[in-house]
Amino acid sequence: MSGTPRQILGDRLRDALKAAGFDPVRGDVSASADMRFGDYQSNAAMVLAKEKKSNPRQIAADILSRLDVRGISAAPEVAGAGFLNFRLESEFLDSALGALAADPRLGVATAKIPQKILLDFSSPNVAKPMHVGHIRSTILGDCLARIARFLGHEVITDNHIGDWGTQFGKVIYGWKHFLDREALARDAIAELVRLYREVNRMEETDEVVRRVAREELVKLQAGDAENLAIWKETVELSWREFEKLYGLLDIRFDERLGESAYNDALAPLCEELQRRGIARESEGALCIFYPGIPALAEKPAIIRKSDGGFLYATTDLATIEYRLKHWRPDAIWYVVGAPQALHFQQIFAACRMMGIEANLVHIAFGSILGEDRKIMKTRSGENVGLAEVLHEAVDRARKMIAARQEGLTPEALESIAETIGIGAVKYAELSQNRHTDYVFSWEKLLALDGNTAPYLQNAYVRIRSIFRRGEVGADPGAAIRISVPAERLLAIKLLQYAETVPVVLEDFRPNILANFLYELANTYHSFYEACPVLKAEPEVRASRLLLSELTARILSHGLSLLGIRCPEKM
C-alpha cells in the first residue's frame, strides 16, 4: 500500500476533480464522524458548489462519473447536501493491514521536506525550584521533539535557563553571610531559596543589607572572581537538581545555554539596531517601534532601559542571532505560556525588521488549575513544586499497584509505579488542548477507566496477557481476514494511526494523538468483547492475534511519542 487510505482516496478524488475541470486543491478527504455513512468522506462538491453557485449534488454526480476507486472502496455514495461517502473494501483492508504489520514505522511516512528545528522549552530559573507551572512547557516540548524526530526532522532541544538577574545579588550576599553547607549538600535549591528569602526579608528593614546586596550584583556583573565562583556553583548545583527531575521524566537536552551566555552580545546588538534605524531612543530608553503593525503600534519593545540595563527582549534577540549563526535552523519553536504572547509578537516582528527569515513560532499554552479552578498553589500560597507532584504521582501509583498485584519484587514494584505515575502526569497534560486551562485531579489522572494513561497502559497489558495466556505469538506473515463489523472497525482505526501522527505538528496538538489512542483502546475493547481470539478457528485466530499485536504495537508506539512507557504488568 502506497500511502494511507485517506491519502489514496484524496489522490483519486483530485484526479477526478482535475478531469472534471475543477480545482484539485479542493479534493480533501477526512475520516467520517459517523461510521454508519462510510469510512471516509469529502465535502468537495459542497465547497465547489458554493464557489460556483451551483447545485452540489449535480457537481457530486459530475465528480463521481470521473472517480475511479476500484480496489479501494465500494462505489461512493452521495449523501445529504452533497457529501461524498467512501466505504473501504474488505480486500483492501486485508492487504493494507498486512503491509502495516510488516512496517516498523506502522505506516507513518517521514516528512516530505525535513527541517532543522530548534525547540526551546522548560527553562527553569537557577536557585529556584521547578514548580507545577513548568509541567506544561517541559512535557509538551519533549513530546513535540519526539514526534518531530520520528517524522524525520532534525531537532535541537535547548533549555534556555534563567541564570542571570537581580536575584543573584541577594543569593550571593546570603551565601557569604549565612550559608549552611550541610543543608546545601542535602538540598541545594532549598538552601538557595532560604538564602534569597532571608535576604529579601532583611532588606525590608535594613538599608545596609539592601545596598550591599545590590553591590554584590554589580560586582558579579563586573566579573568579580569571588562572586563569579559563587554564581557558577549555584548554577551547577541547580542544574544537578533539575537533572534529577529530567531523569525521572526521561527528558534530555542537546543544548543548555542560559541567559548569561549572551551578556557580551547585548550592548553591540543595541548599537547595531540603533545604527540600522530599527531601534531609537525614547525618554532615555532604547526602543523598537512597530508603526506598520497595528497590533503593536502603541506597544514598543524596550531593549535598553534609561539606566543602561537590558531586558528579556534584548537577550531573546541576541539568542536568536546566536542560534541562527551556530545551528542554522529552519525554524525555532518556543513552548512558553500564553501570557508571553505579546513579548513574542514583539520579538518576532523585530526579527523580521532585522531581515531574519527563519520560521519563528510561539507554541502557547494555558494554565494548570487546582480543583478549586484557581491557579494551583500550596496552602501557603506558593507554587506547587514539580518534584512534589512527580514523587506523589509515583507514590500513589505504587499503592495502587501493590493493592492489585501480589508477589512483585520491590524493584519491579518501583519500576511499574514510576512508569504509571510519571505517565499519568504526562498524559494529563498531553490529552488536553494546549490552549485551554485544565484542572489537575489526582483521582482522574490515575483512574483505570476514562481517558487516562493508566487506562491505555492497562489496555496494552491486557492485550499482551492474551499472548502469555495462550502461550502464543502473532505470526507477522499470517493472512488478515476481516469478516465481522467489530474487526472492520478495529482495522480502519489501526490504519488511521499513520494519518493521525503527522497532524499533531500542524497546530502542535498532542491531544490529537492522545485522543486517537484512547479511541483505539475503546475500539479494541469492543472487538475483544465481540470476537473470540484464542478460541477462534486456526485461520481466524491467527488473523485476530495479528490484529491484537498491531493494536498493542500502536498503543505502545503512540504512548512512546508522548514520552510514556508501557509496563508488561499492572
For 191, the domain range is 167-249
- What confidence tier does 217 reach under pLDDT thresholds 50, 70, 90? very high
7-62 pLDDT per residue, tens? 999 999 999 999 999 988 888 999 998 888 899 999 999 999 988 888 999 999 99
- What is the DSSP secondary-structure string of 486-518? HHHHHHHHHHTHHHHGGGGGGTT-THHHHHHHH
Instruction: Please say if the pLDDT value at position 99 is more than 70.
Output: yes
Structural domain count of the chain:
3
Whether the Cβ atoms of residue 422 and residue 394 lie closer than 8 Å to each other: yes
At residue 1 the predicted structure's pLDDT band, cuts being 50, 70 and 90, is low
In a domain, 160, yes or no: no
**pLDDT at 385 (0 to 100):** 87
pLDDT value of residue 163: 95
Least confident stretch, 443-447, 455-459, 521-525? 443-447
Over residues 355-383, the pLDDT tens digits come to 999 999 999 999 999 888 887 766 566 77
Which among 100, 107, 5 is positioned nearest to 546, based on CA atoms? 100
Residues of the chain with pLDDT > 90, as a percent, come to 88
Q: What is the gyration radius of the CA atoms in the chain, in angstroms? A: 28
Query: 79 with 179, same domain?
Result: no
**pLDDT higher than threshold 80 for residue 467:** yes
Average pLDDT over residues 548-563: 98
Counting other chains too, the contacts that 305-313 makes at CB distance below 8 Å and 24 or more residues apart are 310/266, 310/267, 310/270, 312/343, 313/288, 313/343, 313/346, 313/347, 313/350
- Confidence at residue 380, expressed as pLDDT on a 0 to 100 scale: 60
- CA max distance for the chain: 88
Residue 154 has pLDDT above 60, yes or no: yes
Each residue's pLDDT tens digit, 156-215: 999 999 999 889 999 999 999 999 999 999 999 999 999 999 999 999 999 999 999 999
pLDDT digits (tens, 9 = 90+) for 274-325: 999 999 999 999 999 999 899 998 999 999 999 888 999 999 999 999 999 9
CA distance 141 to 304: 30
**Residue at a domain's end among 233, 249, 265:** 249
- CA dihedral angle for residue 39, residue 40, residue 45, residue 50, rounded to 10 degrees: 110
φ, ψ for residue 369 (rounded to 5)? -110, 150
Residue 177 lies in a domain: yes
Write the CB contacts of 102 (distance below 8 Å, at least 6 apart in sequence): 476
Examine residue 195 and state whether it is found in any structural domain, yes or no: yes
Q: Verify that 458 and 557 share a domain, yes or no.
A: yes
Question: Does residue 45 fall inside a structural domain?
Answer: yes
Is residue 484 assigned to a domain? yes
DSSP secondary-structure letter at 65?
A: T
Residue 39: all three cell numbers together: 469510512
What mean pLDDT value characterizes the chain? 94
CATH for 476: 1.10.730.10
Compute the distance between CA of residue 2 and CA of residue 394 in angstroms, rounded to an integer: 43
- Give the CATH number for residue 72: 3.30.1360.70
Query: Of 199, 228, 249, which closes a domain?
Result: 249
380/383 Cα distance (integer angstroms): 9
Has residue 124 been placed in a domain?
A: no
Task: Quote the pLDDT of residue 381.
Answer: 62
pLDDT (0 to 100) of residue 179: 97
Out of 224, 249, 274, a domain closes at 249
Q: Are 446 and 452 in contact (CB under 8 A)?
A: yes
In a domain, 375, yes or no: no
* Predicted local confidence at residue 364, as pLDDT: 97
Does 369 map to a domain?
no
Cell numbers linked to 324? 541562527
